[in-house]
Amino acid sequence: MILAFFLMELIIDSGEAWAIVKYPVIWVVLGMVFFFAIALEIIVAALQRILFSGLTPEAKENYLAAEKVREQNRFGWIKRKYVEMLGAKPMSKESEIVLDHNYDGIRELDNKLPPWWTYLFYVSIVFGVAYFVYYEVFDGPSQIDEYETDVAEAQVAIAEFKKNNKDLIDAESVEQLTDPADIAAGKTIFTENCVACHKDGGAGGIGPNLTDDNWILGGGIKNVFHTVSEGGRAGKGMIAWKSDLKPSEIAQVASYVLSLHGTNPPDAKAPEGDIWTDGNTPVDVNAKTVDSTQTNVETTNAAVTDSIKPGN
C-alpha cells in the first residue's frame, strides 16, 4: 500500500498539492490494493495449510524446525549491519586494542571511529565538492539570485491571486484602478446609482462636488472606498453601499470618482470640506464630523472678516 501510495504520487501530476488530496478517487484505489493484499495473504496461508497437512509426520517436523530458524533470523541482515556500523569491539576482544600505558589503573582502548560516523564524513566531503563545483566553478545561482527568483514568482502568484479574488479588497488594501475597462465599469455604476445626488460627472447636488480638491470625508482611494462602502455621516443622505455593490465594484466606482478630479463640470457645486493633500491617510468619519464643522465656522469667520474689510 505504501509503495502504491508513493507510486501514484510520483506518476500523477497534481501540481503543488498531494495527488491524494486533489483526486480523492485514489483512496478507492488504495482501498482496493488493501483488500487485494488481504486476499493474497489469506490465499497464501490457506495454500500453506493444505500443503502442510499433506506432509509426512517427519517432514512436518523438519518444516517446523526450518520455520523456527527462519523466524530467528528474521531481520538478521539489519541486526548484523547495525552492529557492524557501530564498529565497537565486543568486550571479550578488548584485550586486542588496549594500549600499553596504565595510569593508576586507568587504561585506554584504541577504538576505531565508528563506521557510521566515517561514512557520514565521506558523504559530507562528496557533498562539499559537489556544492563547491556547482556554485563556485559553474556559477550556480547565488542566494540573492534565488531570493529574487522567489520574489518574482511570488509577485506573479499575487497578481494572479488578485485577478481571481477581486472582491477580497477592503479600504485598507484597495488600490486605485487605472485600467480604462475598470474606469468605464465604474462610470456605469456611477450612472446607475450615484448621479441622482452627485450629478453627472460628479458636479454635486444633494451630495458634494466630487471633482474638486476638497473632501469632507477624505480623498484618496482608501477614504473614497471607505465612504462609498460604509456611507457618509449619519443623516446626510450618503448610504453605505456595501450591501448593494461588491468590493470590486466599489473599487471601480471609487476609481472612477477619483478620475473625475479637476474636470470642472458645468454648474459644479461649491467646494465643501478640506483640501486633500495626502492620498492615503485614512480618516475617522466621526472625528471628521467635528473637523468639518470647524471648517465651516472658519469659512464663515473668513467671510465675515472679508465683509468688514475697509475696501468692502
Task: Give the interface with ligand HEC as residue ranges (CB under 6 A).
Answer: 190, 193-194, 196-198, 206-208, 210, 215-217, 224, 227-228, 232-233, 236-238, 241, 253, 257, 273
User: Residues 276, 215: contact at Cβ < 8 Å?
Assistant: yes
Q: How far is the CB of 236 from ligand HEC (least distance, A)?
A: 4
Q: How far is the CB of 263 from ligand HEC (least distance, A)?
A: 15
What is the signed CA dihedral for 57, 58, 62, 67, rounded to 10 degrees?
0
Q: Which distant-in-sequence residues (6+ apart) come within 8 Å of 176 by Cβ?
A: 221, 254, 255, 258
**Pairwise CA distance, residues 262 & 201, whole Å:** 11
User: Residues 144, 223: contact at Cβ < 8 Å?
Assistant: no
Considering the complex, state which of residue 19 and residue 197 has its C-beta at the smaller distance from ligand HEC.
197
The residue written with cell numbers 509426520 in the block is 57
Q: How far is the CB of 23 from ligand HEC (least distance, A)?
A: 45
Query: Taking the CB of residue 285, how many other CB atoms lie within 10 A of it?
Result: 18
Q: How is the chain split among helix, strand and coil, in percent rounded to 5?
A: 60, 5, 35
**Pairwise CA distance, residues 218 & 202, whole Å:** 16
Backbone phi, then psi, for 20, in 5-degree steps? -70, -25
Considering the complex, state which of residue 43 and residue 206 has its C-beta at the smaller distance from ligand HEC.
206
Q: How far is the CB of 154 from ligand HEC (least distance, A)?
A: 33
Q: How far is the CB of 10 from ligand HEC (least distance, A)?
A: 54
**Pairwise CA distance, residues 248 & 254, whole Å:** 10
**Pairwise CA distance, residues 176 & 222, whole Å:** 8
Q: How far is the CB of 304 from ligand HEC (least distance, A)?
A: 24
Query: Taking the CB of residue 50, how many other CB atoms lie within 10 A of it?
Result: 9
The residue written with cell numbers 517436523 in the block is 61
What is the signed CA dihedral for 267, 269, 271, 276, rounded to 10 degrees?
-80
Considering the complex, state which of residue 37 and residue 196 has its C-beta at the smaller distance from ligand HEC.
196
Q: How far is the CB of 293 from ligand HEC (least distance, A)?
A: 11
Considering the complex, state which of residue 8 and residue 225 has its C-beta at the smaller distance from ligand HEC.
225
Considering the complex, state which of residue 182 and residue 190 has its C-beta at the smaller distance from ligand HEC.
190
Query: What sign results for the dihedral spanned by CA atoms 93, 98, 100, 101?
Result: negative
Q: How far is the CB of 295 from ligand HEC (least distance, A)?
A: 11
Considering the complex, state which of residue 26 and residue 225 has its C-beta at the smaller distance from ligand HEC.
225
Considering the complex, state which of residue 26 and residue 216 has its C-beta at the smaller distance from ligand HEC.
216
Considering the complex, state which of residue 247 and residue 273 has its C-beta at the smaller distance from ligand HEC.
273
